[in-house]
Amino acid sequence: MQTQLTTGRPTPPVPGGRRRDRGDHLTSRRETVRDRLTPLWLLSPAMIVIGTLTIVPVLLLVASSFTDYDQRSLFTGAFDLVGLRQYLEVFSDAEFWWATILTVAFTVAMVAATIIVGMAVAQLLTRCSRPVRHVVTVVLVLAWAMPNVASSVVWTWLFQPGYGVVNWLLEQLVVFGDTSYLDWRQSPVLAFLSVWLLVVWQAVPFVALTLYAAQTQIPAELLEAARLDGAGEWRMYRSIVLRILRPTLLLLVVLSTIWDFNVFNQIWLVTQGGPDGATTTLGVYTYRTAFVSFGIGKGAAISTVTTVLLLILTMIYVRRLVRSGEEL
């Protein structure tokens, strides 16, 4: 440009300029491909682990559901392909449908109670003082971090007839009569209630702390402006807080549905599916079929159906989650 201004003549093209432009173009393409492949290389260890521990077992599970794999196959390795026979037996089994209905009812009851109680605890955490908040947070984390097996065993002690603390407390209330020798596992309603309380008690800390963390990110200016306009506490919570927390709530509903739908340890350790199948969910029914009756092929079919049901529910909730995020 400077040469053109001083001499008035255009600057001659640089020899090989077109070749250098092509080289720059190829270099940029290589950099683009490298930038696209770099995340895949970084994710490859995690993808290998997930594929080994999740995808491969699922494929083996689906393959086993088309066989007559049983106790004999465990020792001889011999089995036959039976096609859809296992699925036909599962769908024609009345116990399977009863377990499915019970699992859905169980999941709805546990998820609803967990979300409601978790929302209440999260709201209380925003109102209490800092020392009290720290103490409550530590207690919630300890309750959530306790292993399922240990908490289930302790839970059976609490509800044990004769020396259980819960029976003793109910007797002190002088409302339910003599409950010292009340056996919760012998009543369908009480067995369901004891497992429900255990699962909700373990799930509330995660929901409460997650909602509290999300609620602390709400701008204080919004609440202050609503308060100046004369809105009450309940109106602010319903119109502002819940609206902002909607994506978080939907995500928690998805996770709670998956976890509660697959609950097994607590039910098996507390009631073992009794009495008379009153707490026999799909998890307990699958375990009994595959590892008690050694109908491994049929158990694999039940697990496959359960996985498909969870995928459908998850897809529905994720779609709503995406829509709620777009609306916000």
- How does pLDDT run across 165-201, given as a tens digit for each residue? 998 888 888 777 788 888 898 889 999 999 999 999 9
pLDDT digits (tens, 9 = 90+) for 244-274: 888 889 889 888 988 899 899 999 999 988 8
Separation between Cα atoms, residue 124 and residue 121, nearest integer Å: 5
Separation between Cα atoms, residue 217 and residue 122, nearest integer Å: 13
- Amino acid 106: pLDDT: 93
**Confidence bin at 25 (pLDDT 50/70/90):** low
pLDDT digits (tens, 9 = 90+) for 195-229: 999 999 999 999 999 999 999 888 888 888 888 87
Burial group, residue 258, by CB count within 10 angstroms (0-12, 13-18, 19+): middle
In order of start, what are the domains of the chain with their CATH numbers?
93-327 (1.10.3720.10)
The one-letter amino acid at 76: T
More confident residue, 82 or 316: 82
Q: Mark residue 143 as left, alpha or beta (left: phi above 0; alpha: psi -120 to 50; beta: remaining).
A: alpha
**Confidence bin at 57 (pLDDT 50/70/90):** confident
Average pLDDT value for the chain: 84
Q: Mark residue 10 as left, alpha or beta (left: phi above 0; alpha: psi -120 to 50; beta: remaining).
A: beta
